[in-house]
Structure 1
């Protein structure tokens, strides 16, 4: 009955487009708005060919009709014609004459891409839709859609970009005279050993591709590239004229495999991973590496999680085998979510580095505590943190061995601001202020640093 009624309406619509003469009887007609209603009803009734025919008539009447192109896109998608569906939805988005129309077209495009098992394209369209979302309801819909598509997508990509003005881009000392164990050695610090100001740019890209998944386990291929580039200030170049930006730049890249499986009670898991890669510093390749890791995650309660991790890494120096090192790292992390939505995090990491080269044999430990406020303060979400570090070298050699070796202690504090209300396409700006000092019995390694990092972060 529905199809018959719609067919009659289409016939009326078609005859309305035929010019009438004085000798012809007056024919019934329907308006463009009525035709749009009929097209939508045909689509909802499952008569996709009929919806397509009405939409084509609308397009003939107005080739910039975004609504008609949206109907065409949905109809072609249900009729298994993905090429025409993608073309129609692009036209629907292009001709949308309001944020609401463009939001709807982009979300429809995301739905079509998802139905065609193209989740990455679907995520891209959801990002475009986010650029036109202007109500909380629309934003919440997108966040939910994005989470669902991301969970279904075997490919995930995470990108962190930051630009940070800093008063110490090279980890240089604030001291002028060299002092070791409280004794002046008559040495002087200058040039690249002194703290130099400038801008630090960081790009950290992580890629994960799901190879297999079942109810209790998942296997992924992983890749990461991290680069830290420096732009020295004019004053730094004047103070150290024989150094360049690349002298303080660093990059590393790795590729690996990761297997995660459930272990024990619900929410508990074990992750095994391995990776190989290379590191560059000062403009040249410094070492290659391979590493194996294990991580145990434990769900203590709905609000509490605890994890333990261990990593064994072998670094192969490109300069000399004497500089090869073995790195063993152990860590534990505790997270608690409070009733008001705030989150407390505590972490401990210890590391042992051993090698034939004297100054490449040491142990480190660091403790970090952070507090993330669940509620926004105005347009801002705030996270604060403090990190304490300790490094010990049993033996350390400069011109001659340092009596008692070398000991460093550091204390840094940071506060991060996430401006969630100032987003574009689901990305919002971040600002982090980090400051602290490192002390040492070898004052060449005593440094102070304050950095302001500007970056972007995804809201979903």
Structure 2
């Protein structure tokens, strides 16, 4: 094999297999030789034989690597990525693991297809965005109005799933054009307490689904290599199982590298929404900016600000919003968990009429903490736990809300 004589190596391997057809090393050698000879189908069969016979981490790691090489040579890069995840999982030591991750990234960068799966389960204190109050006072009347159960905060469990798959239409080291299909769906299961509060309501009444197609162009600056992106997205949203809105979104984002430890970005997004089932149309414009910096301690700090203007005949979608946020990623794991923390503050101003009253001001504060449990990684995926708390105070008591949720999910480690 070192002298680039794979046909001779395959002959030796087949002789060894005639003597003992359970010789894992001979199957591996044969698979490597067949792959180098361009006989990828036979190489995959030989690698699979080695995989089935492998009974040590070293043998499983080597078998998975050879299978990935054969698949990548045949242009089946998505399947090759899965086998490289197996190689990472069975790596006998850290050096072998790092090499397998490096190979995974190499294959992924050359794969025209990219797919991301999302799944999470999250107990939430307010699945319907209901009021934190059970009574409200309006019109300055000297008595309270009691809110019906479905208008109050209902607790339950959110079950969410999604998939994004993209295909690179054209690309180079600096520029690529891709088409992306994204589908998301989340539904809820109400707690017994929420069901008692609103007996005619089901969790699926608040289910939200979306389907969107995006055409995006990404390129990197010749001076600092920072990415830039423009995209157009066409999509449809369903709420409670019924069509809610369709939308067209145009967006752009530009990054700058400000030295070795700091980056900055600006973004802009314009969206036109068409309401379904008699709902009003709306238009939205959002501009934002942010910066990220690697601190001397190794922690990473990210800051952002954004402004949004939404216009519609529907009072609830006619508003101006200002927001600011910060996120801190810790440099080192704590008790085996990779931690990051976030804070976001938002202010919304509505000019429309609500219950006969003109104008409304909302203030929202959101805190969250995420722990990625790297020590529980399986096949390059690790469990992720997020705790999120959100509180909104409004000049109209009906819109005072409090939300607390615990989200459990999985994400890729590389």
Matches of 1:131 and 1:342 in 2, distance apart? 28
Compute the displacement of 1:263 (Å): 4.3
SS in 2 for 1:394: strand
1:438 corresponds in structure 2 to: 392
2:341 corresponds in structure 1 to: 384
1:164 corresponds in structure 2 to: 122
Structure 1 residues 102, 263: CA separation in 2 closer, same or farther (over 3 Å shift)?
closer
1:427 corresponds in structure 2 to: 381
2:281 corresponds in structure 1 to: 324
Structure 1 residues 151, 352: CA separation in 2 closer, same or farther (over 3 Å shift)?
same
Matches of 1:93 and 1:184 in 2, distance apart? 77
The 8 Å contact of residues 182 and 441 in structure 1, kept in 2 or not, is answered as no
Q: TM-score, normalised by structure 2?
A: 0.95
2:7 corresponds in structure 1 to: 49
The 8 Å contact of residues 25 and 50 in structure 2, kept in 1 or not, is answered as yes
1:287 corresponds in structure 2 to: 245
Does residue 450 of the first structure (1) align with residue 393 of the second (2)? no
1:13 corresponds in structure 2 to: none
Matches of 2:23 and 2:140 in 1, distance apart? 80
Compute the displacement of 1:383 (Å): 0.2
1:302 corresponds in structure 2 to: 260
**4+ residue segments displaced more than 6 Å:** none
Structure with higher Rg: it is 1
Matches of 2:48 and 2:174 in 1, distance apart? 39
Compute the displacement of 1:181 (Å): 8.0
1:62 corresponds in structure 2 to: 20
The 8 Å contact of residues 130 and 424 in structure 1, kept in 2 or not, is answered as no
Tell me, which stretches of 5 or more residues in structure 1 are unaligned? 1-42
Structure 1 residues 413, 181: CA separation in 2 closer, same or farther (over 3 Å shift)?
farther
Task: Identify the match of residue 108 of structure 1 among 66, 73, 92.
Answer: 66
Write out per-residue CA displacement over residues 116-168 of structure 1, whole angstroms, 9 at most, x where no aligned residue: 33221210101122221242222212221111111111221222321111121
The 8 Å contact of residues 177 and 184 in structure 1, kept in 2 or not, is answered as no
SS in 2 for 1:301: coil
Structure 1 residues 329, 184: CA separation in 2 closer, same or farther (over 3 Å shift)?
farther
> Which range is displaced more, 158-167 or 102-111?
158-167
Structure 1 residues 215, 83: CA separation in 2 closer, same or farther (over 3 Å shift)?
closer
Write out per-residue CA displacement over residues 420-455 of structure 1, whole angstroms, 9 at most, x where no aligned residue: 121100111111111131111111111111111111
Task: Identify the match of residue 276 of structure 1 among 234, 237, 245.
Answer: 234
Does residue 339 of the first structure (1) align with residue 339 of the second (2)? no
1:366 corresponds in structure 2 to: 323
Aligned residue pairs total 414
2:215 corresponds in structure 1 to: 257
Write out per-residue CA displacement over residues 282-341 of structure 1, whole angstroms, 9 at most, x where no aligned residue: 111111111111112111112111111111111111223x60111111111211112333
Q: Where in structure 2 are the equivalents of 1:119-268 lying within 5 Å?
A: 119-180=77-138, 186-263=144-221, 265-268=223-226
Structure 1 residues 184, 178: CA separation in 2 closer, same or farther (over 3 Å shift)?
farther
Larger % of strand: which? Answer: 2
Does residue 90 of the first structure (1) align with residue 48 of the second (2)? yes
Matches of 1:396 and 1:134 in 2, distance apart? 66
Matches of 1:155 and 1:307 in 2, distance apart? 27
1:24 corresponds in structure 2 to: none
The 8 Å contact of residues 169 and 230 in structure 1, kept in 2 or not, is answered as yes
